[in-house]
Amino acid sequence: MSASKSPDQGAAEDPGFTDTSPDARYRAKAEVLNRAIQEIGMGRYQWQLFIVIGFGWASDNLWPIITSLILPPISYEFSVSRPALLTLAQNIGLLIGAIFWGFGCDVFGRRWAFNLTIGITAVFGLIAAASPGFGAMCAFAALWSIGVGGNLPVDSAIFLEFLPGSHQYLLTVLSVDWAFAQLLANLVAWPLLGNMSCAEEQGCTKAGNMGWRYFLVAMGGLAMAMFVGRFMFFTIYESPKYLMGKGRNAEAVKVVHEVARRNGKASSLTLDELDDIDQGSRGLTAADIVRQRLEKLSLDHIRALFDTPQRAYSTTLIILVWAFLGLGFPLYNAFLPYIQQSRGAEFGDGSTYITYRNSLIIAVMGIPGCLLGGVLVELPRFGRKGALSSSTALTGVFLLLSTRATTSNALLGWNCAYNFMSTLMYSVLYAYTPEIFLTKDRGTGNALTASANRVFGIMAPIIAMFANLETAAPVYVSGALFLAAAILVLLMPYESRGQASL
């Protein structure tokens, strides 16, 4: 089912277009810029942008993994009774960052947000290495997460606004950076944390537990290198859509022509095309821009997601799927090294070296999982629903089976299978979710699912604080949530494979 064309679309070419409201003018000018970017095509500038945008994608997965990897040695050194507080602080920072930068990049521009998100992460990640206590560590984790939380909303906006419509699939391809980020974090953690960390709380001193501090210096240094690479060695132009939205049409046209020049092409875009739409009126104010963003969550758009029984059913199910995964995934994944080490001790090989070696092996499995997901979604009579439901169910099954492991190698095997399937699951979920919403209400639908995911993510460490991490309780809860989500996917009324956008 395809969405009908919005009255505002194509307004720029309609000589009878008389709607001069800020929203209508913005959409009309956006159409003009979209055509100009498509005319330029995919070239040198966009491919360079693809690389540096990958830094943000990697950072989004890298820092939550860093938190999970340093959790055991930090809890031992500071004799922490509730280690899950560190993950709670991180998740609160991620939520704040997503909200602040999501709105902020529309108010003060993409260019500043593009550089500041990784810059903030780097600074507070490096400072955190000198944390004198657990409270300070939690504060710095929240602060670096405010930067991390802005990577996806800011970087995806920048990439899409310079990307020709014919190449928007590259936004999905960027997910491979997540898998490589997990691999990189574990590769660095293995020698540092594996050889320079306490194996237990008793007798754990700062001098004998420097691994996590060196690890933060290494990861903070990497983030700083990414920041310098973006800021010093890549010229990021301000988004033309942001500029024209602020009434700075001449600057928007100049950016488009500069991108065309970098690509070895010429653009036919003229200033008159944008000025004629404005008809001498002012650009959007900051208040106009914020109002536009809030309109995505207006009651009209929310009601549209529930305007028919089938659509209400579909929207409710997908929100629940994201909520269940938002709770189940961090409940297990954020505490995986802690669980690996405590369970390994039961098998007589819970050394820090083995713990982080195993975490590296588990991380490697995420890369083929991500790639396989892109193949399965196009299989006839299997499609998105089949790939998503089966991978979600198997993720839960492998988690539950891990509780039956009687040796360290068996536990490692089940966790490898879990990471393979969970990565496959997320690669499908990110493609399927926006496809089942009507085009005009897609922003609202994506916002509701993302909010459910983040809010339930904050609940995960709270539950972990009251569920003993040295038992299999968090694993049982997480596995059950994945199985429940898999059933909900099967109940979805839409299969989007081979179909036009709803």
pLDDT average, residue stretch 233-240: 84
Angle at 233 between CA 232 and CA 239, to 5 degrees: 85
Is a pLDDT exceeding 70 seen at residue 468? Answer: no
38: tokens are 């498509």
Of 29-38, 62-71, 131-140, 277-286, least confident by mean pLDDT is: 277-286
Amino acid identity, residue 318? I
Say which residue the tokens 């899950």 belong to.
84
Of 235-244, 279-288, 448-457, least confident by mean pLDDT is: 279-288
Q: What pLDDT does 272 receive?
A: 80
Q: Are 411 and 343 in contact (CB under 8 A)?
A: yes
Q: What share of the chain is helix, strand, coil (3-state, %, to 5)?
A: 75, 0, 25
Q: What pLDDT does 349 receive?
A: 57
Percent of the chain clearing pLDDT 90 (strictly above): 21
Angle at 423 between CA 418 and CA 426, to 5 degrees: 125
CA torsion sign for 424, 427, 430, 433 is: negative
Amino acid identity, residue 466? F
Q: What pLDDT does 484 receive?
A: 95
Of 52-56, 269-273, 282-286, 456-460, least confident by mean pLDDT is: 282-286
| pLDDT per residue as tens digits for the range 82-96 | 888 998 999 899 888
Q: What pLDDT does 317 receive?
A: 93
pLDDT average, residue stretch 357-373: 80
Q: What pLDDT does 137 receive?
A: 96
User: In whole angstroms, how large is the CA radius of gyration of the chain?
Assistant: 24
222: tokens are 């990497």
> HEC states along 204-248?
CCCCCCCHHHHHHHHHHHHHHHHHHHHHHHCCCCCCHHHHHHCCC
**Rounded-to-integer distance, Cα 382 and Cα 374, Å:** 13
Domain with CATH 1.20.1250.20 in the chain: 10-295, 296-502
Q: How confident is the model at residue 499 (pLDDT cuts 50, 70, 90)?
A: very low
DSSP for 377-420, written as a single string: TTSTTTHHHHHHHHHHHHHHHHHHHHTT--SHHHHHHHHHHHHH
**Rounded-to-integer distance, Cα 156 and Cα 374, Å:** 19
Instruction: Indicate the CATH number for domain 10-295.
Output: 1.20.1250.20
Residues 6+ apart with CB under 8 A from 295: 301
Percent of the chain clearing pLDDT 70 (strictly above): 79
Is a pLDDT exceeding 80 seen at residue 191? Answer: yes
Q: What pLDDT does 8 receive?
A: 36
| Residue 379: Cβ within 10 Å count | 12
**Rounded-to-integer distance, Cα 211 and Cα 194, Å:** 8
| pLDDT per residue as tens digits for the range 11-21 | 334 444 445 55
209: tokens are 């537990």
pTM over 0.85: no
State the Cα torsion 15-16-21-25 to the nearest 10°.
-20
CATH 3.40.640.10 fits domain 296-502: no
pLDDT average, residue stretch 153-171: 76
Q: Are 446 and 433 in contact (CB under 8 A)?
A: yes
**Rounded-to-integer distance, Cα 318 and Cα 395, Å:** 18
| pLDDT per residue as tens digits for the range 91-122 | 899 888 887 887 677 677 778 888 889 999 99
Q: What pLDDT does 3 receive?
A: 36
Q: How confident is the model at residue 135 (pLDDT cuts 50, 70, 90)?
A: very high
237: tokens are 């132009």
- Reference 398, options 417, 411, 373; nearest CA is 417
Of 25-34, 358-367, 369-378, least confident by mean pLDDT is: 369-378
Is the model more confident about 446 or about 303?
Answer: 303
pLDDT average, residue stretch 465-470: 66
Q: What pLDDT does 10 receive?
A: 39
Is a pLDDT exceeding 70 seen at residue 39? Answer: yes
Q: Are 376 and 387 in contact (CB under 8 A)?
A: yes
Q: Are 309 and 296 in contact (CB under 8 A)?
A: no
Helices (H), 279-351: 286-295, 299-304, 309-333, 336-346
State the Cα torsion 416-420-425-426 to the nearest 10°.
90
